[in-house]
A and B are shown apart, each in its own frame.
Chain A
Amino acid sequence: MESAGDTESRNGDRKTPGKWISLLAPIPPALIALSLLYHLPDISAGREFSFGFTWVSELDVSFRFYIDGLSFLFALLISGIGFFITIYAAEYLRGNPLLRRFFLYLYLFMIGMLGLVLASDLITLFVFWEVTTVASYLLIGFNHASAVARRSALQALLVTALGGLCLLTAFLLLGEISGSYDLQALLTKGEQVRASSLYIPVLLLVLIGAFSKSAQLPFHFWLPNAMAAPTPVSAYLHSATMVKAGIYLLARLHPVLAHTEYWEWILTCTGIATAAVAAIAALRQTDLKLALAYTTVIALGTITMFLGSDASAAVAAAITFLLVHSFYKAALFMVVGIIDRQTGTRDLTKLHGLAKLLPLAFIAALASALSMAGFPPFLGFIGKELKYEGALAVASEPALVGTAAIFANAVTVTVAGMVAIKPFFGPPPVDISCIQRAPPGLWISPLVLSAFGLTFGLAPDLIGGGLVEPALTSILGLPETIDLKLWHGINVPLLMSIFTFVFGVFMYLKLKQLRSWLNWDFTHAPTNADVLWDKSLEYLKSFAALQTRILQNGIMRRYLTVIFVTLSLALSYALLHTGQFSLEFVWPNLNLKEWAAVLLTVGGTFTAGAASRPLVAICALGALGVGITLIYLFFGAPDVAITQILVETLYLVLIAAILPRLPVFSRSKKVRFRPRDAVLGGIVGLLITVSILVVLQTPFESPVSEFYKEAAVPEAHGRNIVNVILVDFRALDTFGEIIVVFTAAIAAVTLLGHQLRRGKQ
């Protein structure tokens, strides 16, 4: 974390990055947000935009973007909150020598995120998905001198990249099922996808991708660790935007993958479990930022739970709550950043009485916390009422979902109290002198964002018809209307709300006892996800080391053994799968001279294999070379025979020239027979023989040979067909061959260069 002292000392000895950067930084997101807002009436009216170009036409991949209600809502959130975050970050990191790099990463992330939510092509979506993963890695690890930050960054990268890989697989399968990677086309093919036999794999892979990004169980552990990032990053990526990418994906693919029991149960159960685990963890925290991080996980779990349903009230609750959450959570993170920066600590037990010292931050914190706790007339209240309505509308398990929602909200109320009330009330801090007042750049963003919570709470129609309804329409496919209002009369959701407040306030008052009880429980817990993560990484590393020891141990014979064993396995597999072939014995109809050639070859081979003296082996090689030459000659290939005998002769000359330099004549000891290698060799040889016999059983057709026979005279004016092929039809191949031989000659001469020179001297 940046602290005030750190920043000042750096300020002294290094040139501050240009002031202009803090003035210019908020402009790009502001322009994007304004241009989106300009089109708000069009979106509200149900219009959709599409633009882009073909990327890889062969693979049917295009670089296309598509704006409908859902992507518009997300794009507006990303650019709008991005605008406030850049203002805040420029002040928060003032004087940091790496400020330029920070904004580079932040913009990279913003582009990735906008591309992700606007992409109308699955492959494009995946590319931007990975851009956000990489940008998140860079931003969490921004404080690269800290080992904790580096570890957290790597953990977040590995977890989300693993999800990304699953997602890519899912997208490729979806492309297979629907026949195209186009998202708009896919959205109309929900029936086809759900009926496909690949539906379950696709669903699971998509969910792994979405859950890892949105920190759902069992991938929840990376998000609290990601709090090692500077606070503006936590506020932006890890509460308001990136962690919602998984939610976006679930919402986007809702029309395609939802409406099945699998979808409903997996999402509902994961959401509830995540919310419950995070709620218990949130109560234990004394670090303000970590407590907020866990409430983010609660919120994500709740949204996931609601997206599991296809009831319109539940989906409406998910989308509205997503919007509400982005406003208050970004503001609260920024307030915690202010407290941290001005006092140097985020420890809840040490902070009190800050209201007078940081008055504007206090107002922002209070307004956001009231929205978070769901007090009327804030937007959070509307969000919560909708959640309870949605919970009751969930067809399968309204009681379970309702209880989970109440518990999650009650903990949220408690944490809101922890963040907004605890640090600001109570006796003033002891050493007031070292706490500075916050500059405007810090408090303006949280103040405006929390003001949104109040404004939209009082006038919910501002967002209801324009933003939420089009998004709902995109998800559910039918034109939806939603009536956001504060007062619904006395009904079940209101009673649930009142119960939530009472429960939450009770937990806040009993926080100390609660925490000590929970801590006692957790110190006795054998393990947690973070430890398991470290262990699994260790296992991975030792597995890699083991595999390297076995396969890459530097012994060439071991490598060759692996190669030949693999070859045998592959050949056996291929032979078993070609199905029917018969190996009946037919007495070969070779004549005497052919038998002689065959026997010469076989005899030469065995002698070469068994020879202990190199000279014997070389003679045997010569003999088998002659045998093979004869075979070529007897079966109508005189050209090949001539070449073979020439090459054999040349080879013999070369060996004769090199042999005296090698220690071959001095050694006469018997070569040890190696049974294991002999068995392996026998297996490979047998498999090759069988493969050739199988090949020979397939009907023979050679249109290419026929072409050469027909075309040799008319087209190439040559009567030796083999020669014509080599020097005319395939002349370029022959040219390549000459180059290869030439290169080999140059290399050999270079290697032997000084030996040859010395020989002359």
Chain B
Amino acid sequence: MEGPLAVVVGILIATGVYLMLARDLLHYLFGLVLISNAANLAIFIAGRLTRASPPLIPEGQEAPQIVVANPLPQALILTAIVIGFGLLAFALALIAQVYRELGTLDVDRMRIAEPVRPKRKKSL
């Protein structure tokens, strides 16, 4: 049952890459959201899937007696989700400020750090 989810990850990545290659910075951000979700999901699948039974230990037992989901990827993903949120929140603030300063969200027009060479101006 991991197979279809691997395909889902592929679709998320493909759409994410497509969006990140857009000229609009907001699309770039949406692409980033998709790719971080895809990464989390990939880790989740790699730890193998188990239906139901979350990794909990009932009262009175020292260790889980039944088969439970793999707790390690879950712990990793929890950290990744929160860090991903930090990244996206910051990126969003950055985008707002970029628009305020430059008046555009078109990445091709953001050339202050690397000005266009006088000759051979060529855009993709």
Contact = CB atoms under 8 A, between A and B. Distances in A.
Most-contacted residue by chain B among A644, A705, A725 (CB, 10 A): A705
Interface in B102-124: 105, 107-108, 110-111, 113-117, 120, 123-124
**Interchain residue pairs A-B with the least CB separation, the first 5:** A685-B14, A636-B69, A554-B114, A689-B10, A744-B86
Interface stretch (A164-172, A486-494, A648-656): A648-656
Q: Determine the main DSSP class of A at the interface with B.
A: helix
Given A725-B75, A752-B93, A741 B82 contact: yes
Given A638-B54, A726-B79, A737-B83, A692 B107 contact: no
A608 B30 contact: yes
B32 to A, nearest CB: 11
A693 B45 CA distance: 10
Interface in A587-607: 588-590, 594, 598, 601-602, 605-606
A628 interface: yes
Interface in B19-56: 19-24, 26-27, 30, 33-34, 37-38, 40-42, 44-56
B46 to A, nearest CB: 6
Given A733-B79, A747-B90, A702 B72 contact: yes
12 contacts: A634-B52, A639-B74, A640-B78, A647-B84, A650-B85, A685-B14, A686-B14, A693-B6, A704-B72, A721-B71, A726-B78, A740-B86
A678 B22 CA distance: 10
A749 B111 CA distance: 25
Contacts of B34: 605, 608, 621, 624
Contact of B4 (A588, A614, A713, A719): A588
A624 B41 CA distance: 12
A557 B21 contact: yes
A196 to B, nearest CB: 41
Given A617-B26, A655-B92, A719-B56, 7 more contacts: A553-B114, A554-B111, A561-B124, A636-B68, A640-B81, A685-B11, A752-B96
A692 B69 contact: no
A640 B90 contact: no
Contact of A722 (B24, B71, B107): B71
Contact of B57 (A553, A632, A643, A721): A721
B15 A608 contact: yes
B41 A678 contact: no
Given A635-B49, A636-B52, A696-B6, A658 B14 contact: no
B78 A643 contact: yes
A533 interface: no
Nearest to B52: A636
Contacts of B24: 671
Interface residues of B, number: 95
A609 B15 contact: yes
B4 A590 contact: yes
Contacts of B56: 719-721
Contacts of A686: 10, 14
Contacts of A658: 92-93, 95-96
A709 B71 contact: yes
B91 to A, nearest CB: 9
A714 B62 contact: yes
Contacts of A38: none
Interface of A: 549, 552-558, 560-561, 564, 586, 588-590, 594, 598, 601-602, 605-606, 608-609, 614, 617, 621, 624-625, 628, 631-632, 634-640, 643-644, 647, 650-651, 654-655, 658, 661-664, 671, 674, 677-678, 680-682, 684-686, 688-689, 692-693, 695-696, 700, 702, 704-705, 708-710, 712-714, 719-722, 725-726, 730, 733-734, 737, 740-741, 743-745, 747-749, 751-752, 755
Contacts of A737: 79, 82-83
B23 to A, nearest CB: 7
B55 A554 contact: no
A590 B69 CA distance: 17
Nearest to B114: A554
A638 B114 CA distance: 46
Contacts of A598: 4-5, 8
Contacts of A709: 55, 57, 63-64, 68, 71
A468 B6 CA distance: 74
A693 B3 contact: yes
A705 B70 contact: yes
Contacts of A700: 48
Nearest to B115: A554
B15 A647 contact: no
Contacts of B68: 636, 709, 721
A650 B92 CA distance: 13
A748 B93 contact: yes
A689 B11 CA distance: 8
B45 to A, nearest CB: 6
Contacts of A609: 15, 18-19
B87 to A, nearest CB: 7
Contacts of A606: 11, 15
B72 A556 contact: no
Given A588-B1, A748-B93, A632 B72 contact: no
Nearest to B15: A609
A674 B33 contact: no
Contact of B71 (A561, A651, A725): A725
Contacts of A751: 90, 93-94, 96-97
Given A614-B26, A650-B85, A719-B59, A688 B42 contact: yes
A636 B82 contact: no
B105 A662 contact: yes
A534 B35 CA distance: 48
Contact of B46 (A590, A635, A696, A708): A696
Nearest to B55: A721
Most-contacted residue by chain A among B10, B47, B51, B99 (CB, 10 A): B10
A453 to B, nearest CB: 62
Contacts of A663: 99, 105
A752 B62 CA distance: 50
Contacts of B3: 586, 588, 693, 696
B21 A561 contact: yes
A662 B99 contact: yes
Nearest to A687: B10
Contacts of B97: 751-752, 755
A643 B54 contact: no
A563 to B, nearest CB: 9
Contacts of B75: 722, 725-726, 730
